[in-house]
């Protein structure tokens, strides 16, 4: 069967992965209300196409923090990609680079920051959880700077890990042969120990994440680096306002793909209030439920500067390594361009709320 | 299989109980519209999480009528718990106490008020239906006071018993070996006689409940005791206002879990108007459809002081007696705390309508 | 199995009737959108119960045009009831009388007006379609007056017969042994001739119904009789206003049970605008989708003076003749009374929009 | 089985066609959201019937651009009809003429314009895509004028072809024996080459359609002909206003039956804003989801002057050639007339928004 849309990677990947691993990447927290709502929020929005516009020349090219991108699409940070493909994050970086996309590397990457950077031809950002052990963070930041990473992403929606019932039922743990190689082994050993009824991921986070940090603590992180700092997991105008007030350089509207707070407002539904609060002062990205060029166009028309793709990138990585990732991003870019043609908005700058109904 | 959420107790309990008994505890009245609507009312509400809040110290501790609770969760009154577990209400009381929760004992408890009190380490309330035989009521009230019960709950949504079609089809009657031991046998004998096409519960209520009582009659009940009086089954602002005007000490917003008036407004949908009418003058509790920490947080954010759990406590009692009940309450408390962390509201006082969307 | 709700008659009747006959009574027109919407309109309305009201004495008794009824429930006019039970309309009349209900006899009754009147102990109304042959109408009116019928009901929503696809596919025709005995055989002969792809009902109506009548023609019908004249099939405020202006004595809000205009506004949704336009000047009844005491209470609270039951009466007639009809009406009356108890509205006069949400 | 509604042709046609061909005519683009939404938009609208209106004389007759039609129903342009029936567009033209309907011939017709015109007894319009090769267009326009076509329809919603996943998966291509005989073979050769994972239709369009045309280019097309020019694919008030400002003679509100922009606003939902913008200056037609007389009445009541039927005409052509097409149109005309009777609007001029709810 040909791959003609992102969901085709989904069905193929499902056939390739053991059930507990599939559940880990596919599942969300609680009743998975937010997983479903993220998708539905896009499908509830209709498009108002304009006609007789010259769409012969279309461009999806854009830039973030000065780095050129073939399209406003990046790969969201996800952990331990060697569980899905032997090359892991190296393949993802290579694929993203081929397609001209951004790649946000997880703090729990299973390849070294340097290996990933060596394979990358496009921009890399490094995602961080705020570990209790701040020295581990500052070492990572220093390595990322040296390796040419262009921004830091601090995930702020995970002081504790969501109740992912599938993982709890599966007693899910990370395969012993796949390590968070950018952190001391001691710091992540617990993630490899399976216990029925618990998730090793959640247990580990409880032990190592700092749940006490507040806006005031951001200054420490900023003091360690000159890189732009992006917060991932903002869903309200209030927090968007605070982020800008605290000098944050970018915002990712996200509910962690429905994996953290079950019942959280869908990312797409939260986007307009964040965009309004930010008022163009910093870039706003969105992740959560993006599966189609249509979804990307809706997010951009609502004021997002770019979107991140989570699960689909993992499906493509599983199925075809770096080629899969590159193909997925190119396909989505092409779908975006195609939707721009059919809505009569050939430039990204044409995308505004008048296309939405 | 591990128990990772309240619904896991449901599926296990279903496998353990005979079908007519399962139908009795699970079913509602009429088309069970309200049973379903109670759940749906929670799922329709989204949450707006705040980030970068110090959630390292969270507290769910609260109190009702001066009694400390580990969390704002109690067990709703349900009858004849020995049908589900040999220890009946004694197990429930022990479990509630272990978890620091409130237990509201039914007038149709199958263990004596004194046995239950002896097993309890947390607060007990006694629920009453207004029987025609007022002497039976006053005797119960006196015994409850002596045994240390801390409040009376008068159920006001059941002048007649809902048309529970499952029970009617099953000709449901209470097992002869399980008695409402706190009442004279003569008063409850009818509940043990099965007749096809009728419910012994409904027949008994028609014979023994006083359908004529009004707000004016509350003064008699209050004259029998110094205990706080809570009304269970209020769903409108008008009645909330009347309750406060008549000196009632607390209100439980409830539609009897969808077992009485089919089509009744969902408890969660009724809560805001009751809270607005009460305006903080007395505590407001809610029951009906609470299955998750998320539901509890939504109720509290809407102004409830606590919630009561009905069917899930019966499932847990069936599966594992007092340990099941304690585990269920602890799990819900933990889920509430977890949801407080993920919404950035570490204290109960932080919960207000800004978290709802 | 015991009969514990109206739908229990449905499943039994279905098992007793040949499929084309079942389709004839159960089906609607077109996509049956209105059949479904009639039901859904009730289920979308929630109830706001009041508590601590003395509901020991409840009354559903009412009257229409001076005739006492045990409850505001009548049987809607439906044709050829001998297809369902050998006694036909005589059984229905006897059953309605036993239960204290109104019976509206169809112009296409399969028993004579006089036989029906002899069996009836409650009020009878006679329903008419406006036939091209006015002499047939005036003869019927005269016989109805003589036989003690208390009102005339003119169905105004059927200038042509709805596209009932089930009947078209079945080539439905009325069994030759069941005749519209109150009309000349010549006038109805066509209804007994089955032709694949057509409905004999529709063919007959096209030949015999007068599609040209207007408000001005009502004066002729009124000139033939002193009986009150009720219009059945009003769904708009505009027509309700015209009806009152033309001296009509009552209105039945109805879409013919979804058998005429597919897509017509649900009866329950149309009721409030009709009630507002009529402003109490004449009685307003409703039919369409009434299956429960709850539905009846909702209609009455919205301003209806009574409701009519169509299909459920046919189910009950099929299953158990006059006893079935009497039982159905008594059950619905009891359900209404029960719902009045649980909503804290013991008298019909207590039912107003404050009970609806 | 008798054919009693348009959907009966659907099920029969499905049984007659190979799956890839069925998918080609039945499918839409992307997730087929708009295919479904087109239908749902009609079903969400209820009708408010008026009664006691003389409906004995009803007329569906109308005219477009001076040509008389039996009813405001035409056949939408669809390509390569010889794939469905050996006579192809000749059969469709003959059937449309028999029923007094308009036929819009596709630029990719598989019979010559002249053959079609010879078979037609009703008005013909010619639909065009704007090909890069303008000489091909002007030759077609000249032939159409000569052959008596009465208007040109320029499709403006297809600068690129929608992602029709079914066709992509099927590697769909047009059967080699069925040609777009009105164009040079060289211009359409590519549509007959099947390649897995691609649609020959889409590939061909990418090569031959001019994606750069704008409102300014319309003047060239108008300079080639005196025929009225109609734009097909307008969904917004803004473009309707521009169309009138540029001297266009008519507008077809359409999203290409959900085959182009997936997520496009349903045609029926777009209609009111287009009608308001046009304000009667030019005729407005609608296509997309019309399956019933009820749908047609809704469109007309919302201000459409006529509707076009796409897929149902193909089903009927497949099943029964010209007789099928004639029967379908006559059936829809009769359904429209019937719905006019049951809503109490015997003339097309009676149809206005007061019939909608």
Contacts with A138 (C-beta within 8 Å, 6 or more apart), sequence order? A224
- Give the model's pLDDT for residue B271: 98
| B311 lies within 8 A of chain C by CB | no
Binding residues of D for FMN are 77-79, 106, 127, 155, 232, 254, 287-291, 310-311
Give the model confidence (pLDDT) of C8-27 as tens digits.
999 999 999 999 999 999 99
Of B197, B263, B269, the CB nearest to C2: B197
Q: For the purposes of burial, counting CB atoms within 10 Å of the CB of D247, is it exposed (0-12), middle (13-18) or buried (19 or more)?
A: exposed
Choose the catalytic residue: D192, D256, D327, D338.
D256
Contacts with D193 (C-beta within 8 Å, 6 or more apart), sequence order? D173, D200
Size of interface B-C (CB pairs under 8 A): 95
| pLDDT string in tens for chain D (357-residue length) | 689 999 999 999 999 999 999 999 999 999 999 999 999 999 999 999 999 999 999 999 999 999 999 999 999 999 999 999 999 999 999 999 999 999 999 999 999 999 999 999 999 999 999 999 999 999 999 999 999 999 999 999 999 999 999 999 999 999 999 999 999 988 888 899 999 889 999 999 999 999 999 999 999 999 999 999 999 999 999 999 999 999 999 999 999 999 999 999 999 999 999 999 999 999 999 999 999 999 999 999 999 999 999 999 999 999 999 999 999 999 999 999 999 999 999 999 999 999 999
Q: Please check the confidence at residue C335 and state whether its pLDDT lies above 90.
A: yes
Closest CA to D250 of D225, D274, D224: D274
- Give the model's pLDDT for residue D1: 61
With an 8 Å Cβ cutoff, are B30 and C54 in contact? no
Arithmetic mean of pLDDT, A257-263: 98
In chain C, residues with a C-beta closer than 8 Å to the C-beta of B157 are 49, 51, 342
Confidence of residue A196 (pLDDT cuts 50, 70, 90): confident
With an 8 Å Cβ cutoff, are C55 and B31 in contact? no
**Residue found under tokens 């605008």:** C273
Arithmetic mean of pLDDT, A91-104: 98
Between CA A251 and CA A282 the distance in angstroms is: 7
CB A98 within 8 A of CB A44: no
**Whether residue C256 lies in the annotated active site:** yes
Contacts with A262 (C-beta within 8 Å, 6 or more apart), sequence order? A28, A29, A30, A31, A32, A33, A34, A162, A163, B292, B294
**Residue found under tokens 């110290």:** B57
Contacts with B182 (C-beta within 8 Å, 6 or more apart), sequence order? B107, B109, B112, B113, B140, B143
Confidence of residue C50 (pLDDT cuts 50, 70, 90): very high
Give the model confidence (pLDDT) of C112-150 as tens digits.
999 999 999 999 999 999 999 999 999 999 999 999 999
| C339 lies within 8 A of chain B by CB | yes
| B356 lies within 8 A of chain A by CB | no
CB C118 within 8 A of CB C148: no
| C342 lies within 8 A of chain B by CB | yes
CB C60 within 8 A of CB C332: no
3-state helix, strand, coil in chain C (%, to 5): 45, 15, 40
Confidence of residue B186 (pLDDT cuts 50, 70, 90): confident
Choose the catalytic residue: C246, C256, C327, C338.
C256
In chain C, residues with a C-beta closer than 8 Å to the C-beta of D45 are 263
Any chains having at least 3 CB pairs less than 8 A from chain A are B, D
Question: What's the gap between Cα D64 and its chain centre?
Answer: 15
Arithmetic mean of pLDDT, C230-244: 98
Between CA C348 and CA C71 the distance in angstroms is: 9
Between CA D73 and CA D62 the distance in angstroms is: 9
Token pair recorded at residue D64: 């477009």
**Residue found under tokens 């919302």:** D302
Between CA C184 and CA C172 the distance in angstroms is: 21
Q: Any binding-site annotation on C155?
A: yes
Of C37, C165, C233, the CB nearest to D5: C165
- Give the model's pLDDT for residue D211: 95
In chain A, residues with a C-beta closer than 8 Å to the C-beta of B292 are 30-31, 262
Angle at A286 between CA A282 and CA A290, to 5 degrees: 155
- Angle at which helix D293-301 crosses helix D267-278, to 10 degrees, equals 30
With an 8 Å Cβ cutoff, are D261 and A4 in contact? no
Between CA A291 and CA A271 the distance in angstroms is: 17
Token pair recorded at residue B51: 């980030």
- Give the model's pLDDT for residue A43: 97
- Give the model's pLDDT for residue A280: 98
Mean pLDDT taken over chain A: 97
Torsion of CA B67, B71, B76, B82, to 10 degrees: -90
Give the model confidence (pLDDT) of C260-315 as tens digits.
999 999 999 999 999 999 999 999 999 999 999 999 999 999 999 999 999 999 99
| D167 lies within 8 A of chain A by CB | no
Ramachandran class of C96: left when φ > 0, alpha when ψ lies in -120 to 50, beta otherwise: alpha
Any chains having at least 3 CB pairs less than 8 A from chain B are A, C
Give the model confidence (pLDDT) of B288-329 as tens digits.
999 999 999 999 999 999 999 999 999 999 999 999 999 999
**pTM across the whole model:** 0.97
**Residue found under tokens 């949704």:** C269
Q: Please check the confidence at residue B1 and state whether its pLDDT lies above 70.
A: no
- Give the model's pLDDT for residue C183: 96
Between CA B13 and CA B43 the distance in angstroms is: 24
- Give the model's pLDDT for residue D190: 87
Between CA B224 and CA B246 the distance in angstroms is: 16
Of A47, A292, A338, the CB nearest to D265: A47
Q: Please check the confidence at residue C43 and state whether its pLDDT lies above 90.
A: yes
CB C268 within 8 A of CB C302: yes
Considering just the CA atoms, what is the radius of gyration of chain C in Å? 19
Strands B67-69 and B62-64: antiparallel
Between CA A229 and CA C148 the distance in angstroms is: 89
Q: Any binding-site annotation on A287?
A: yes
In chain D, residues with a C-beta closer than 8 Å to the C-beta of A355 are none
- Neighbour-count burial for C285-301, b at 16+ CB within 10 Å, e otherwise: bbbbbbbbbbbbbbbbb
Between CA D117 and CA D147 the distance in angstroms is: 6
Our answer on whether D and A touch (3+ beta-carbon pairs < 8 Å) is: yes
Q: What is the least distance, in Å, from the CA of B286 to any CA of chain C?
A: 16
In chain D, residues with a C-beta closer than 8 Å to the C-beta of A54 are 211-214
Q: Please check the confidence at residue C196 and state whether its pLDDT lies above 90.
A: no
CB D324 within 8 A of CB D95: yes
Between CA B346 and CA B58 the distance in angstroms is: 5
Share of chain A above pLDDT 90, in %: 97
Arithmetic mean of pLDDT, A158-162: 96
Q: With residue B69 as reference, give the H or E element that holds it.
A: strand B67-69
Confidence of residue B12 (pLDDT cuts 50, 70, 90): very high
Our answer on whether C and A touch (3+ beta-carbon pairs < 8 Å) is: no
Q: What is the least distance, in Å, from the CA of C31 to any CA of chain D?
A: 10
Confidence of residue B51 (pLDDT cuts 50, 70, 90): very high
The DSSP result for A295-337, as a single string, is: HHHHHHHTT-SEEEE-HHHHHHHHHHHHHHHHHHHHHHHHHHH
Between CA B162 and CA B81 the distance in angstroms is: 20
Probe site for chain B from A261, A273, A274 (most B CB atoms < 10 A): A261
Contacts with B44 (C-beta within 8 Å, 6 or more apart), sequence order? none
How many Cα atoms sit within 13 Å of A346 on the Cβ side?
14
Of A165, A218, A263, the CB nearest to B5: A165
- Give the model's pLDDT for residue C1: 61
With an 8 Å Cβ cutoff, are C52 and B212 in contact? no
- Give the model's pLDDT for residue D2: 86
Contacts with B10 (C-beta within 8 Å, 6 or more apart), sequence order? B311, B312, B315
Choose the catalytic residue: B192, B256, B327, B338.
B256
**Residue found under tokens 């990204």:** A348
CB C354 within 8 A of CB B265: no
Between CA B118 and CA B89 the distance in angstroms is: 11
Q: Please check the confidence at residue A1 and state whether its pLDDT lies above 80.
A: no
Give the nearest chain A residue to D236 (CA atoms).
Answer: A48
Q: What is the least distance, in Å, from the CA of C357 to any CA of chain B?
A: 7
With an 8 Å Cβ cutoff, are C5 and B163 in contact? yes
Closest CA to A306 of A67, A10, A95: A67
Provide ipTM, 2 decimals.
Answer: 0.96
Least confident of A123-127, B352-356, C203-207, D284-288: C203-207
Between CA C35 and CA A101 the distance in angstroms is: 53
Q: What is the DSSP code (8-state) at residue B344?
A: T
Q: Please check the confidence at residue B183 and state whether its pLDDT lies above 90.
A: yes
| A223 lies within 8 A of chain D by CB | no
With an 8 Å Cβ cutoff, are A341 and D169 in contact? no
In chain A, residues with a C-beta closer than 8 Å to the C-beta of D211 are 54-56, 341
CATH topology of domain A9-49+68-346: TIM Barrel (3.20.20)
Between CA B46 and CA B43 the distance in angstroms is: 7
Closest CA to D71 of D324, D304, D271, D276: D304
Question: Which residues are paired to D68 by β-bridges?
Answer: D63
Q: Please check the confidence at residue A4 and state whether its pLDDT lies above 70.
A: yes
């Amino acid at each position: 069967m040909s791959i003609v849309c992102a969901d085709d990677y989904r069905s193929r990947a499902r056939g390739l992965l053991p059930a507990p691993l599939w559940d880990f990447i596919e599942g969300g927290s609680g009743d998975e209300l937010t997983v479903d709502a993220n998708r539905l929020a896009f499908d509830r929005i209709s498009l108002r196409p304009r006609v007789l516009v010259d769409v012969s020349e279309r461009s999806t090219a854009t830039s973030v923090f000065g780095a050129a991108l073939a399209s406003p699409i990046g790969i969201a940070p996800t952990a331990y990609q060697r569980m899905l493909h032997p090359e892991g994050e190296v393949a993802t970086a290579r694929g993203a680079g081929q397609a001209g996309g951004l790649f946000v590397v997880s703090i729990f990457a299973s390849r070294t920051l340097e290996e990933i950077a060596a394979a990358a031809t496009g921009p890399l950002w490094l995602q961080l959880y705020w570990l209790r052990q701040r020295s581990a963070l500052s070492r990572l930041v220093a390595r990322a700077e040296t390796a040419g990473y262009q921004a830091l992403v601090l995930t702020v929606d995970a002081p504790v890990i969501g109740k992912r019932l599938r993982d709890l039922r599966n007693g899910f743990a990370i395969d012993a042969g796949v390590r968070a190689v950018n952190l001391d082994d001691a710091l992540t050993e617990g993630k490899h120990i399976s216990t029925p009824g618990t998730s090793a991921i959640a247990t580990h986070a409880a032990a190592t994440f700092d749940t006490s940090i507040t806006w005031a603590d951001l200054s420490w992180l900023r003091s360690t680096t000159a890189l732009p700092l992006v917060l991932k997991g903002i869903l309200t105008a209030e927090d968007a306002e605070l982020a800008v007030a605290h000098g944050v350089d970018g915002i990712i509207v996200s509910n962690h793909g429905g994996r953290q707070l079950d019942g959280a407002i869908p990312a797409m539904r939260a986007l307009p209030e964040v965009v309004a609060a930010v008022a163009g002062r910093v870039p706003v990205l969105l992740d959560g439920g993006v599966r189609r060029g249509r979804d990307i166009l809706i997010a951009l028309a609502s004021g997002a500067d770019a979107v991140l793709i989570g699960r689909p990138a993992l499906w493509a990585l599983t199925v075809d390594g770096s080629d899969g990732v590159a193909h997925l991003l190119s396909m989505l870019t092409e779908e975006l361009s195609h939707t721009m043609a059919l809505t009569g908005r050939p430039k990204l700058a044409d995308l505004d709320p008048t296309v939405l109904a």
